[in-house]
Structure formats: structure tokens, C-alpha cells
Structure 1
Amino acid sequence: MGDVDGVARCLEAAVGERFVRDELAALVSQAVAPWVAHDGLRLFGMNPITGAVSFGFLHDFSPDLVQAQLFDAYLGDDAFSPADITRQPKAVGLFDGNDLSIPGHQRVLSTLAAYGAGSEVRLLLRNSQGLWGLLALIRESGRGPFDQDDAGRLAQLSPPLIALLRGYATAGLSPSGAPLPAGVVIVGADHQVRSLTSEARAWMREISPERGLAPEWMPHVSMLEISLAARRHLVDPGAPRPVACSPTAFLGRRVAVHAQPLDEDGKGDVAVVLQDATGALLLPTFAAWHGLTARESLVLQHLYSGAAPKQIARSLKVSLHTVNTHVKAVFRKTGVSGRDALLAALDS
């Protein structure tokens, strides 16, 4: 068995590195394996504002299994699903076959078995600043299932994993390509893409895995997840809002994706909109990714609107000194040298 400090150091050393496709999942799997043995791993980053899955990576984890689990999570029965992630009282979900009385436990195990897996443990990555992602490990059928000791060890890795996801999301990379107009994809009742506008086709070419950044499984799985999330949110407003925001490192540009069912019960078509995540659309997620406080986020909004420090002070009813302190904190946390650089980071 490995040492938790050694695993943490390995993960911390990778913060800020450049990863393409599923390389990040491979690194995390290699680091975690001596601490919690497993046969497959998935790591999903979430929009800390909405809770929607926004980017993700797999290592020895079948994309078909992911899709089956998405149907369980959003339309079926899953005891620890993304649709209920903000309501989870515990950070770790354990599916080891021992307690079938938990609602959804049997369904999770049945889905795992259909793809050759026998048990799964999931770690919700959250802290006082927000919801950052989900790490899931599986073991093949026939191997000893995960137990409470495994769950406890995995939970110790939450801080360095959150740091790794935040570092990935805030990597100072320049977006590639010219801005694109918003595009619309229609996902039918059968969960298949039914039609695309010409603008959406341009988007699909832009974010295609053939460009070498996104994992090959990403387009279909991501479209399925956001449309399922929209269906669930319509009938369950307490579920995460279907608004994802992918960082530049994932697709070569920051992409906002949001979805809306086109009927009253969420069983028909869903419209999925893809657009550049810039400016005011990006502000809340940008602030969360960079760990801004609530007051610093307000100052960021005023800075983006063009307000001068004195105007911000009057609006917030605080001293100019306090505003300048917040402004310096915003610049420091977002890694910019001034207002012009901050605006460029938000609008590029």
C-alpha cells in the first residue's frame, strides 16, 4: 500500500501541466493505484456554479458504461448520481454489494456487472468554495470489492484532486480560432442527435477530438449528459442546472453549453446551445474557478462593467481602500497585471 502524502505530492506536482485527451485520468490512476487499487477510473470536472459536469477523462473505463450510468443517474435509480450530487450528505458513495437496502444500490451493481465490473467507489470533490468534480474507481468482477477502508483512504485525496482540477480549469492558455456564433443541436426523444444548425456543425468541427485535445468519447457522452440533465432539471428543479462551462485546456477554447427541453414534460426534443464562454456569461464560473470570495466576485462584476474604484466603493458602500484591497486580490488570484489584462482574459 502506498503513502497518502506521496500520492498527494504526485497530484500536486501535476497542477498546471498540459494534458490532452485522457492523459489526466491516466496520471491520476497511476498516482492513486498504490493507495486504492482499482481497474478503471473516471474523473469529471463540474461547473462550480451550477453543478453540471463540464469536462471529464477516463482511464480503462468504458464509455459505454459511462453512458449506461448516465441513464441510471438522470432517468433511473442511482444512489449517488450527478443529478442529486448537491444533496449528498456524504462525500463518498460505496457500491460493494453488501447493503442492497440503499435505494439504487442494486441498480448500480447491475449496470456495473453488465460491463464486467463488480464494485465502484465514488468521491464527490467539494469544499467550502464549491463543487468541483467527481472521481469514480471501479474493480472488475471477481476481485475483492471496495470497502469502507478504501472509501476512507480515497476521501483523503479530495484536496489535491480539487487543486488539480482547478489548475486545469484556470490554465492560462490562449483560445484557438476566431469567435463562433452560437449553434443549436436538437437531441430527440431517443437521446440521439436529430438535427444541427450550420453554426452547430461549425462548433462540432471546432471541438472535434480529431483536433487532438478532447477525448474521442467526449462529443457523444457530453451531448447525452447535458440533454439528460436538462430533462431531469425540468421535472426536478433542485437538480443541477444544465449549464456547463468547459475550460480552454479541454477543447482549445472556453465553451458554454446549456440545454432546454422543448416540451412540458421533458420527454421530447431538447435544444442544446453551444457558444463561446466569454464576458458576462463567463463571470460567475471564472470567479469560482479562481477562488474569489463573494465580495471579490462583486468587485469583478463592477470592473468588467467599466466602473472606477470610486464608483465601486459608492455602490458597495465601502471605503475606497477596501475596494482597492479587493481589486488587488482579484488581480492576484486571476493572475493578471491590471484591468486591461483582466478584461482580455474574460473576453478572449
Structure 2
Amino acid sequence: MLSTTAAGGAREALRRLGRSSLDPQGFLYEVSALIRRTVPNDVSGWMTLDPDTLLSSGTLVTQKSPELDRALWRNELLQDGEVHKLAELATRRSPVAALSELDAATAANSPRVQQILRPAGIGDGLRAMLRSGGSTWGHGAIYRELGARDFDSDERTFLAAIADDIAEGLRRSLSRRPEPGGAAVVVPGVVAFDAQGRVVSATAEASRVIALMPGDATSTLYAVAIAAGLRDRASARVRLTDGRWLLAQGGRMHGAPNDRLWVTLTLVQVPRADLTSLLLRLHTLSARQREVAELLMSGPRTDEIAAQLHISQHTLHDHVKAIFAKLGVQGRAELMALVTDYVQPDLSTNLHSSPR
């Protein structure tokens, strides 16, 4: 039984965490530890998600074995008709779903339950979607061993009640600007996977970039590779440990040796326009505010923007004021420079240089 005092104390601790300066991995590590103290569990995993593809953009905290983690991703992406898939959970009213709430027939026919979780010694589980500002930024799951008691209604209610607080803290940590002068050298790299999702080869540039990825980088790339093998193409945007953003983009190879399916992932800097859109969402700008902000950064005068959007100058002024407040900038010049903080310097002169 979860006491009111314990739940209240945990929520206050979580609010303090959300106001901290922790990076996403540090934040989710503390969240995982806090939840384990409040709602005891035996296995857990917390990750960031690309809000557009719902693929892992960082497997940041995990107590699962690599084999279990990969089996769950294969089930998520390859198993039709499975229960509690991320795309379905992301649209539910409640952010939390419990395995114990499945009826007996559904649980008996679920490959995830019968072929993955039960053989791994896992009984009940709770999955939480971390949604903030209309986007899904992460996902967490906690499990108990087979034979242990199920999570009770108080525990399920508690996790649902704090999911938004976790999501908001995660969003804040993802949107925090990189430290000045810490730009990573993101030279394009390539990783090749075989049909089983195993790494076949990687360029030296890819290995250097992978070292900058947070948490279990191989799990993050595995999810993109499996999705690309299924869909022909797949991608996820990953926040590197220095605050810059990477695009992991996978594609199927045709005509591979022995007619086997191979997938290659290219690791490159996120295109500026895509990064701009992502950062504006991370700062909770509305769709109209994002439209105005992108126009402001592209250079038109304010009267031209108002005319293009068919709104009054007064309405535009209100949008601009709200945009500057959310982004913490003082004017258009700072707004236009915002994305640059998340992007590495021009490396065109360094791509082929090496120490001698």
C-alpha cells in the first residue's frame, strides 16, 4: 500500500529534480531511483523517444539485459496486433498502462507477454508515456518478477499522476542549451547491420560519434536498424552528451551479399530546418508560434509576416512576445542565433584533416 505521505514526498522530490540542471540521462537516472524507492520494482528501463517516429533517441537507464531489450524492440516493431505498442499508448488518455489490466485471453495471446516477458521471469509491468507540450519525449517501464504481487491501484494511480511531471522535467533537460565551446565534431559516419540487427562494420567517424551518444547507444541504433529493415527507411534524432543533436537515419540495402537483408545507418548532424522545428517544440511553442518564429528567423519584416499570415500587427506582436519569453531571448537577433548553439561549427576545412 502506497501511503499518501510517501506519494506526496516523492512528488515534491520530483518537482525539485525537474528544476535541476541535470542532463536527460542524469534526470531519468534520478527519476528511476526515486520511483524504485516509492513503487518497488525489479526491472526497469527509461528512454527518450523521437516524437515523430517514436523510436528510441537514447536508451538512458536500463536494468534489462541487452537480449531482453532487443527482443522487446523486435516485438514492438515487427509483431502485428500486439498490445501496448508505443503508438497506441501515445494516444491514450492515461499515460500509464498495466499488464495486469489485460484480460486473460489477451494476455494469453500476446507474444510480448508469453514469449518474452514470462520466459524472462517478469510478471506485472507498468509502462508510462512521457508527454509534454503535445509531443511524446520519452517512455519508462517498470516490472516485477514473476510470482511477485501485481502493481496495485494506488501504485498505478501514483505513476499516472507523476508522468506529466517527469515528462516536463525531461523536456526541460532536452531543451537546455549546450555549454559554450563544447561543440562536437559530427563528421558523417556509417554503421552496417545484418539481418539480425548485429553490427557488421562501422566507419571510424561513426565510432567517434557513437561514443558521444548517451546511455546504451547500441540499443538506440538497434531500434532504428530494425525499423529500417521493416519500413525501408527509419530515423531518430539523438541528443548527444554535449547537447548537440544527431540524426541516425537507416535504410535497407538491396543486392547485399548472399541476398541477405542488410541495413546501413548514417550518423549526421540534424538538418538545420528539422532541428529548428524540434527545438521550437521542445520550448512548447504552439503551432502558430512555431510558424511565426520560423518566419522571424528567415528574415521578413514584421509587417510582411502579418500580411502573409493574415493577422493584425497587434496579434503578431503578442505572438512575438510569447515566443521570446518561451525561448528566453531578447530580440530577433538572439532568436536567429538560437539554433546555432545546438549546431557544430563549420567543419568543411576539417573533414579530411588528421593529426600528423
Task: Give the shorter-chain TM-score range.
Answer: 0.7 to 0.9
Q: TM-score w.r.t. structure 2 length?
A: 0.81
Distance 2:319 2:139 in 1: 31
Q: 2:194 maps to which residue?
A: 188
Q: Shift of residue 178 of structure 1?
A: 4.9
State how far apart, in whole Å, the 2-side matches of 1:320 and 1:20 are: 39
Q: Is the 8 A contact 2:130 2:166 kept in 1?
A: yes
Partner of 1:45, secondary structure, is strand
Q: CA RMSD in A?
A: 2.9
CA offsets, 1:235-291, max 9 Å, x none?
A: xxxxxx83322235x454211222233459xx8222322222352121221121110
Aligned to 1:238: none
8 Å CA contact retained: 2:55, 2:223: no
Please tell me the residue identity of whatever aligns with 1:171. R
> What code does the residue aligned with 2:77 have?
Y
Extract unaligned runs of 5+ from structure 2. Answer: 344-356
Displacement after TM superposition at 1:339 (Å):
2.5
Match of 2:352 in 1: none
Counterpart residue number, 2:158:
153
2: distance between equivalents of 1:315 and 1:279? 23
Provide the rounded CA distance (Å) in 2 between the counterparts of 1:54 and 1:314.
38
Q: Is 1:46 the counterpart of 2:78 in the alignment? A: no
Shift of 1:76: 2.7
Q: Letter of the aligned partner of 1:129 in structure 2?
A: G
Contact in 1 for aligned 2:47/2:139 (Cα 8 Å): yes
* Contact residue 190 and residue 206 of structure 2 kept, 8 A: no
Deviations 1:287-342 (A, max 9, x none): 21110001101012112222221221121111222222212222211222322322
Q: What SS is found at the alignment partner of 1:156?
A: helix
Q: Give the C-alpha shift of residue 83 in structure 1.
A: 5.4
Distance in 1 between residues matched to 2:41 and 2:245, nearest whole Å? 32
Kindly indicate whether residue 239 of structure 2 is the aligned counterpart of residue 247 of structure 1.
Answer: yes
- Which residue of 2 is the match for residue 312 of structure 1? 305
- 1:214-236 per-residue CA deviation (whole Å, 9 max, x = no partner) reads 22xx22101111112234445xx
The answer as to 2:224 corresponding to 1:226 is yes
Structure-2 change in CA distance of 1:194 and 1:168 (3 Å): same
**1:164-205 deviation line (CA, Å, top 9, x unaligned):** 110111112237335434333232212122343x4xx32431
Matched, 1:75 2:67: no
In the superposition, the TM-score normalised over structure 1's length comes to 0.83
Residue 70 to residue 59, structure 1, CA distance change in 2 (3 Å): closer
Please tell me the residue identity of whatever aligns with 2:244.
Answer: R
> Counterparts of 2:187 and 2:334 in 1: how far apart (Å)?
24
Q: Which moved more, 1:131-140 or 1:84-93?
A: 84-93
* Aligned AA (2:120): Y
Deviations 1:89-135 (A, max 9, x none): 65322223973322663532541233333221111223561222211
Residue 120 of structure 2 is aligned to residue 122 of structure 1: no
- The corresponding residue for 1:214 is 214
Q: Quick one: distance in 1 between partners of 2:89 and 2:250?
A: 19
Q: Give the aligned residue type for 1:9.
A: E
Aligned pairs for 1:13-28 (under 5 A) are 13-19=16-22, 23-28=26-31
Could you tell me which amino acid in structure 2 is paired with residue 62 of structure 1? Answer: S
Equivalent position to 1:57, from 57, 60, 63: 60
Q: Does structure 2 retain, via aligned residues, the 8 Å contact 1:49–1:285?
A: no
2:346 aligned partner? none
Cα separation, 1, equivalents of 2:45 and 2:135: 20
Matched, 1:9 2:12: yes
Does structure 2 retain, via aligned residues, the 8 Å contact 1:54–1:245?
yes
Pair 85,28 (structure 1): closer, same or farther in 2 beyond 3 Å? same
Give the structure 1 partner of residue 280 of structure 2.
287
Of 249, 258, 274, the match for 1:258: 249
- Distance, in Å, in 2 between the alignment partners of 1:30 and 1:91 is 20
